[in-house]
Structure 1
């Protein structure tokens, strides 16, 4: 009897020890879960704050006398050098163990020439997209420009479905509809900056450029997500930095070529002199516009990397109602009922989309717990 009792006690201890790895697995999953939400929150903050500030500064540039299309395009990508120090901080560490070596060798990085072609392609695509946005903002009333920019969600939904196998649920569709209505309300109502003297040819040019830029930008987001999944296949922040820095370098070089080829560089000195707030303000506006666009881009690429291109575009669209709120503070614009309703709709759509991801994450956690519990039950039996 004593021997059987000791054997039973040993078996009980063995079962308890076997249960420990499952508990540790659950704790590790929970830790990854919270770290993921922290990263998504930071990227969202970068995107919203960077895009809002860059939009306000871009509006300030045009309002105070700036009129160079290539300069407005140039600053959207020229701030990439501020990200270069991060490349050294997030440089890959040499493998320290057999496990790390095995994991690293399991996913081989793509060849250098493949990455160069990828960066070159995205850089040229980014140059053309930014230039089309600059033409649209120059030739169109702000209301029409904002309305056309809201079509990014529709284009992105199409490209995400075709290229990224994005699934649509009722909550996601509800979010898209609400955010689109919010942006449309602001665009239709915002007629204070409309230009009635715009020539018909320029108006058509601006309309087509803005619509084409919205479609191109949505395609850009979906292709980046596809590149992360199919070509790069490495889940590190370094890959996000590479995808921002090197295409931005190509885009900046393209803008410099365009600036000199178009002859606009000859009028920059006069533009700086005639800038209403002075030369220092002119330079600071351009510098901070470049910096804030880089902050926005990091947030955008981070959300594509962590979630999807559709999610990043939804967060980007959320900034459209935020900009009028900031304009009330900095430019003393009027806040009326339509803008308040647009803001409420945008927040509602944002919460709807976040809640869908919360449901998906909860299902994933329940599935993991069920798998771990069933494994423990099998061991006990």
Structure 2
């Protein structure tokens, strides 16, 4: 049974105006069932993200050229998320203090709509940057650069979410920066055919910017939960994913038609080297893979935490180069191997820091549970 610590700033003014609800994820499951559920969601993230990146690179290599279409595929299958929203129960993600003040301060529909629209537009821009990066980089290079999102996450969390900056987190930032720097100076023949140095630089900068933007989105989502939505239930987290994806999809559709790229889609399909059926299957497969990844991300937020979900999402990135070598014949030279090892080392530092924080939080929670008469229900 897992009990999460109280969030900062949520302490009640007095025992009489609050009811403390300690509710573990998926109440009623045995410990081994909980771990099995966590493992399934981790598999969704790792497999979904790896397959999506490989199919995205395959789309470009076989003749695809529409960045708006590639961007649209990253969110277009969001209706899949309605399935877990309707089927699974809506339990609290964390320890919650219910107060009369909290109930009266529920955000207005206008506020929630503004949050969804703002984050959705930011998500669409982020996905476009990812699409441009993957257009000019190999799958392995792209994924190694994306590993910088952990470093950016640490920085944005420090300034936006008031997270502490420890020696281990600093070590993670330095190692991921070194890993990315190695990739930056290694613009050799391992990149897609026909990519010039200038295009490589554009792909590199877009991928780094996309990683930074993604980390910013996560921090802003966390801030939205803490300051506006006031709660992290399963339904609220899923709705955040669904409606931001809906806005991002609408932005991509407008961009697709506004840019005129839609006129070339028929010719692109007919000119696809593996055939029209393969073209459709590639786009559908990529869209579904991204949403499978999203289901895993949301599932991990629900059964563990949003931080753990982000760490697992980053863990998938060093795996993509291995998959690309096995199934896609990407070259893995010495520089990329060193960069991948540095990225894994940085990830390990980050995960160990979270383990220390989790152990401290658990000890604090146990002390609070043993103290009688703290609150009355």
Corresponding residue number in structure 1 for 2:227? 230
Corresponding residue number in structure 1 for 2:157? 160
Which residue of 236, 239, 245 maps to 1:239? 236
- Pick the structure with more helix per residue: 1
Whether the 8 Å contact between 1:45 and 1:299 is mirrored in structure 2 is yes
What's the offset of the Cα at 1:61?
0.7
Whether the 8 Å contact between 1:57 and 1:289 is mirrored in structure 2 is yes
Corresponding residue number in structure 2 for 1:49? 47
Corresponding residue number in structure 2 for 1:362? 359
What's the offset of the Cα at 1:49?
2.1
Whether the 8 Å contact between 2:269 and 2:279 is mirrored in structure 1 is yes
Corresponding residue number in structure 1 for 2:10? none
Corresponding residue number in structure 1 for 2:273? 276
Corresponding residue number in structure 2 for 1:60? 58
What's the offset of the Cα at 1:312?
4.7
Question: 1:207 and 1:230 mapped to 2: Cα distance?
Answer: 34
What's the offset of the Cα at 1:39?
6.3
Corresponding residue number in structure 2 for 1:294? 291
Question: 1:44 and 1:180 mapped to 2: Cα distance?
Answer: 26
Whether the 8 Å contact between 2:190 and 2:330 is mirrored in structure 1 is no
Residues 1:343 and 1:145: Cα distance change in structure 2 (over 3 Å): closer
Residues 1:229 and 1:39: Cα distance change in structure 2 (over 3 Å): farther
1:87 aligned onto 2:79: no
Counterpart secondary structure, 1:275: coil
Instruction: For residues 13-68 of structure 1, give each alpha carbon's deviation from its aligned partner in whole angstroms, at most 9, with x where no partner exists.
Output: xxxxxxxxxxxx99989999968877665544333222111111101111111111
- TM-score, scaled relative to structure 1: 0.75
What's the offset of the Cα at 1:133?
2.2
Per mean C-alpha deviation after superposition, the further-off stretch among 132-141 and 156-165 is 132-141
Whether the 8 Å contact between 1:182 and 1:346 is mirrored in structure 2 is yes
Residues 1:240 and 1:145: Cα distance change in structure 2 (over 3 Å): same
Instruction: For residues 106-163 of structure 1, give each alpha carbon's deviation from its aligned partner in whole angstroms, at most 9, with x where no partner exists.
Output: 5464222222111111111111111122223334576875565444334322211111
Q: Larger Rg: 1 or 2?
A: 1
Question: 1:73 and 1:318 mapped to 2: Cα distance?
Answer: 22
Question: 2:295 and 2:39 mapped to 1: Cα distance?
Answer: 13
Corresponding residue number in structure 1 for 2:122? 125
Whether the 8 Å contact between 2:66 and 2:261 is mirrored in structure 1 is yes
- TM-score, scaled relative to structure 2: 0.76
Whether the 8 Å contact between 2:173 and 2:346 is mirrored in structure 1 is yes
What's the offset of the Cα at 1:165?
0.7
Question: 1:226 and 1:297 mapped to 2: Cα distance?
Answer: 20
What's the offset of the Cα at 1:294?
1.5
Corresponding residue number in structure 2 for 1:328? 325
